[in-house]
């Protein structure tokens, strides 16, 4: 069993690359998480975690991460990704993520609404809300990434 994370960091970046996978990799590098191994997780923020602005982990570390990402090979297409963390007064919360063909503001509004609904469906109030998003107009092969890394 993995230990429960004690920290979380919101990340978002966009990039171009020669292939969709390279564009995604470049977005991860720009977000500051490209040299880590992401373990995709769902949407619960553990009790007692604290937000930290920057990751400080060794290359290759396994990092539970909730994220949204999209790549596109359509020049001129606008793509976006966003994440939201909604904390309850009880000290834990939810993480929501989205990605698609939209702008940053639309993506951020969507995850904000999803995070509020997720807490409400659990009978909880929103004590704090943190949102991070990114948009990118594709030149050749583009990618966007927005995530919440959970770490120790």
Domain 7-52+59-151 fold: 3.50.20
- pLDDT the model gives residue 4: 94
Q: Say which residue, 3 or 71, is predicted with more confidence.
A: 71
Query: Would you list the domain boundaries of the chain?
Result: 7-52+59-151
Condensed to tens digits (0 to 9), the pLDDT of residues 38-84 reads 999 999 999 999 999 999 999 999 999 999 999 999 999 999 999 99
What are the CB-based long-range contacts (under 8 Å, 24+) for 121-130?
122/88, 122/94, 124/88, 124/89, 124/90, 125/88, 125/89, 126/86, 126/87, 126/88, 127/87, 127/88, 127/89, 128/86, 128/87, 129/84, 129/85, 129/86, 129/87, 130/10, 130/51, 130/84, 130/85, 130/87
Query: What's the predicted TM-score (pTM) here?
Result: 0.96
């Amino acid at each position: 069993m993995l230990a429960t994370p004690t920290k979380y960091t919101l990340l978002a970046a966009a990039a171009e690359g020669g292939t969709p996978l390279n564009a995604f990799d470049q977005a991860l590098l720009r977000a500051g998480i490209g040299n880590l191994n992401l373990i995709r997780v769902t949407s619960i923020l553990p009790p007692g975690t604290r937000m930290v602005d920057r990751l400080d982990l060794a290359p290759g570390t396994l990092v539970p991460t909730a994220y949204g990402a999209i790549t596109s090979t359509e020049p001129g297409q606008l793509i976006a990704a966003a994440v939201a963390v909604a904390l309850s007064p009880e000290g834990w919360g939810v993480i929501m993520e989205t990605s698609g063909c939209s702008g940053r503001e639309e993506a951020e509004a969507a995850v904000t609404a999803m995070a509020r609904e997720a807490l409400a469906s659990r009978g909880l109030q929103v004590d704090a809300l943190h949102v991070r998003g990114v948009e990118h107009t594709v030149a050749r092969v583009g990618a966007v990434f927005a995530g919440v890394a959970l770490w120790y």
